[in-house]
Amino acid sequence: MRFEAVKVGELARRTGLTIRTLHHYDEIGLVTPSLHTESGHRLYASGEITRLQQVISLRQLGFSLDEIRKCLDGPGFSAIEVISLHMSRLREQMELQRRLCDRLEWLDSRLRAAGEVSADEFLKTIEVMTMIEKLYTPEQMKQFEVAGKQVGPEEIQAVQDGWAALLPEVRANLGLDPASPAARDLAQRWHDLTQQTMRGFQSTPELKQAIADNYKQGKFEEFTGAPQAADMAFIERVKSAWPSIGKDC
């Protein structure tokens, strides 16, 4: 059945958005009605409805309206790709929310049993709450997906497991003598794992740059699962003491 173009009020009712929101999206060229009545009333046809769904999807992923407009006006994004991004992010968010739920349940039971909980536990809970933030543009997220598909899920899992094993060990040994064989061993493993991680991004150098930029801006400081400044400083010290690390020969 052919979709009949709708007016702004009905579109607002059927989507849960406000008329002001739709006016604003029209003004900034984000979702522009393709039809108007003779006296100028907006009429939204099915093409705009499709685009609006993509806009709301990307908005829920935390992108600015300007980013969304550039992304959708460019050639590289179809409705299917926006939906894929949205679904993968939804899964991430749901996983994070499960973790947050677990932490809140733990806090709740401890508060009921002991009456109080240490401030450190509250800090960890806040950290989980604020964890997912948009670090990349939609284009970069798409490239993550492409890179992920190229290396395959087993390799991704291996890299993640590698960091999950190595980071705690490095942190437990930050005080090691950089010239000791044990320190050298840690630095070598760090180097090898970094190479393995970066192999997945060979075809997307701008993505590698974006990751490096985010590190530089301290965006990963609250991710205990990501290398931190102290970790990298230690590795640099060990590399200074053992120049052979990193030289593949």
The answer to the question of residue 64 lying near DNA (CB under 7 A) is yes
Q: Which two tokens stand for residue 119?
A: 């401030």
Please enumerate in sequence order all residues whose Cβ is within 8 A of that of 220, keeping only pairs 6 or more positions apart, or say none: 214, 226, 227, 228
Q: What is the DSSP string of 197-243?
A: HHHTTTT-HHHHHHHHHHHHTTTTTT-TTS--HHHHHHHHHHHHH-T
User: Is 140 in contact with 201 (CB distance < 8 Å)?
Assistant: no
CB atoms within 10 A of CB 117: 16
- Strand (E) positions, the chain? 6-7, 35-36, 42-44
Q: How far is the CB of 82 from a copy of itself (least distance, A)?
A: 10
Q: Which of 1, 4, 16, 38 binds DNA (CB under 7 A)?
A: 38
The interface partner of residue 38, options being a copy of itself, DNA, none and the CB cut-off 5 to 8 Å by kind, is DNA
Q: How far is the CB of 101 from DNA (least distance, A)?
A: 23
The interface partner of residue 65, options being DNA, a copy of itself, none and the CB cut-off 5 to 8 Å by kind, is DNA
User: Is 153 in contact with 119 (CB distance < 8 Å)?
Assistant: no
The answer to the question of residue 127 lying near DNA (CB under 7 A) is no
The answer to the question of residue 118 lying near DNA (CB under 7 A) is no
**Considering CB under 7 A, how many residues would be counted as binding DNA?**
21
For a copy of itself, the closer CB: 46 or 202: 46
The interface partner of residue 10, options being DNA, a copy of itself, none and the CB cut-off 5 to 8 Å by kind, is DNA
Q: H or E segment at 45?
A: none
Residues in the chain: 249
Which chain residues interact with a copy of itself by CB under 8 A?
A: 1, 3, 13-17, 45-46, 49-50, 52-53, 56-57, 60, 79-80, 83-84, 86-87, 90-91, 93-94, 97-98, 100-101, 104-105, 107-108, 111-112, 118-120, 122-123, 125-127, 129-131, 133, 218, 221-222
Binding site residues, DNA, CB under 7 A: 7-10, 12, 18-21, 23-24, 37-42, 59, 64-66
